[in-house]
Structure 1
Amino acid sequence: MLQQTATRLHGLHSTIPQAPAPLLVCNEEHRFLVASQLMDAGVSGATILLEPAARNTAPALTIAALHACAGREDPVMLAMPADHVIADLAAFQYAVQTAYEVARQGNVVTFGVVGSYPETGYGYIRYCPAQAQSVHLVEGFTEKPDAERARQYLADGNYLWNSGLFMLRASTWLQAMTHCRPDMLHACEAAMQAARHDLDFIRPDAAAFNSSPSDSIDYAVIEKLPAHPEWGLKLCVVPMQAGWSDVGAWDAVWKVSEQDACGNAVVGDLVLHQSCTDSLLVSSSRLVAGVGLQNLIVVETPDAVLVVDKRCTQDIKQMVASLARTSHSLAHTHRKVCRPWGWYDCVDRGDRFQVKRIVVNPGASLSLQMHQHRAEHWVVVKGVAEVTHGDRCFLLHENESTYIPVGHAHRLRNSGGEPLEIIEIQSGAYLGEDDIVRLDDVYGRTEKVQ
């Protein structure tokens, strides 16, 4: 979905001027995952702003706008969350074209989805229809309604689902923040003034950014604009019929997935089902078999297995909070972890041992490092490994192995043109990721483990 979002405007360069690459805002813990996904999507040169802590979408858009204006430019920004599905790309791009000129003139434009059923999980936009025009003035917003009110909105015809997509000039957003949330704006300004560059990433100052209040774009600004015409910030909406869905919960994934005659959606090749109805079954690493399921979500990943009634998918966040309270590692990170050089997957672990599958990208290198509590055995599965062990440097080919004792400096590098895959067996009294002393690192991580 991130890849689809980053490439959603491809093909519009002839009608709308665009930056050479997109600007992304994400948490610093996701930086290597995001960079890897962009590479897989063929997107190069993207600017990635790293939030040191989650502060919701309003601060995220604010630091993006401040960066966009840093070169004394004032571009039109299209803010797109990465958890949206757009089935009809042509219709979406037509809506963007419609909104562009309105936004270029200094207006705030949101995109409203023409509802096809009385949805109770979305907020609604109330607008004043403009005859013979495809852009309308927004009159107000309504929170997620009950079923009866949702049916009334659908019958009324002057209500649209709030998509959470926005188009406006960078300066327009900053002006709106001056009126609505000056405290948030000041914190973000301080964070960007003290920002530092780290490889392909931009890191806003942590202390300043963390001092910002947390709020969404809608609550902080958008919903306040119709009541304050004196600010001179006109809020408009472009109706959109593009097969949009906010995939914020697993029941939404079921809705946008292809279903069989019994309403079942299957993701993955290792799924069997019998006498099931209206259910979603997802498999990513092993067989998932369902018998007699009704209205259920079953999601299997290497990390965990989720089973939930479709009516209760919004309650999953409470389970995540429970994991966090117990300091469970899965509350914060996946089993598969992305790094600037590639990724690793912890495939097995037990008392005094851990087994990892490690993939190193072509031309990439791990840091020169040592461990104070563990030894490592490396077995090359695919590719050629360039190994540094103390004063020695040698090559390992497929089916060859080496041993790194506790306290020995070592480095792993892939100097070939194909991904390098190894199996690493760690043994020792302590196997935590913080047992790394970096002696040299091309990614600037010698100060701390990253």
Structure 2
Amino acid sequence: MDKANGTNTASDREILLALFDAALAAALPEGKFKDRLPTPPDAAKGGRTIVIGAGKASARMARAFEEEWGHPCEGLIVTRYGHGCETQHIEIVEAAHPVPDQAGLDAARRILELARSAGPDDLVVCLMSGGASSLLTLPAEGLTLADKQALNSALLKSGAPIGVMNRVRKSMSAIKGGRLAAAIAPARAVTYLISDVPGDDPAAIGSGPTIPEASDPETVLGLMRTWGIEITDKLEQVIRANTVAGEAIPGQEVHMIATPLMALKAAEEKAKTLGLTPLILGDAIEGEAREAGNVFAGIARSASEHGLPAAAPCVLLSGGETTVTVRGKGRGGRSVEFLLALAIALKGLEGVSAISCDTDGVDGTEDNAGAWFDAALLADAASRGLKPDDYLANNDGYSFFSALDRLVMTGPTLTNVNDFRAILVR
């Protein structure tokens, strides 16, 4: 901030990255357990603290829990390849995401065994975050790992929202949809969640391994038909047979320690220190990424030209999880797809820039968190012979922003509260 005239002299890129950094900091698990710790088990009775969990943030959650717990503990966490970290007592294993592999299957079996080993004097701490649906893969009876891999691939290509994907996944799982909670009983269980789903529904985060939910085969089959997921005779039989009542289990607690809204609120406060008027448009934005880009372009244009819904200098913040229906063969995730559609719709509008990133540091399957652009983007692309519409048609936002040196690279952040988007209007 230039104190002499009250204007912000930072570049668009600096401001956008500062907002993203603030959001990420709020999503980290460090310091989030101390006011929510349970009573330790009675050591005189041989009570153990068993820590289990899964997700892209789970390893960092395990490390943070260890630091704040201050008592003996043991356990097993499964996270995505490259998302592990050092812990003192809790074992960390890595597996594939978003399509599961044998390592995830082996880890899920071991985690279920640990849950079943817990007795009435034990405490089971469950650490769950986004990504657990793929990482904690244990097919229901009658299905193989290959069946689950094919299902996950079909779901990812369908364009279905995360809630639909997780509803389908848990219907064919031996561990999701509260089945892990049933295995823990009668031990005490405390679940800590980092939310990556619109609405922060605990049953949807990682497909709710410790959140009991009644099965509804007809609804699941209907969702699969709606989103074009093939229903083989075997899948239908498994879905109808793999039912649970979903009754609440006494003695189990659930705590939400980080959410998309918490991240957006942190970015909101950062924006104020930068002399900007922040406006949170929502923490649960869903739908096709490119369509969302078109909608947000209209809002940004209104802010720029009419001062509505906020007057410049302002920043429009949003979160949630958009989807991409894969039509091309490009290297684009949902963040760069949104951003490319937004840039095309804005047509180089002066004074408007934007960033869109996945808070786990990985947009889709590539090595970038997302990307950013300013008003010069389309002119830069034209000077290099790049046609943005062609890249969008091929779902190739990654290659487009890479060629223009506008990717955002963080590496794995070891947290995950889904998409972060900021549109700066100056």
What range describes the TM-score normalised by the shorter chain of this pair?
A: under 0.3
Structure 2-normalised TM-score? 0.25
Structure 1-normalised TM-score? 0.24
| Structure with larger Rg | 1
More strand by share: 1
Greater relative CO, 1 or 2 (CA 8 Å, sep 6+) = 2
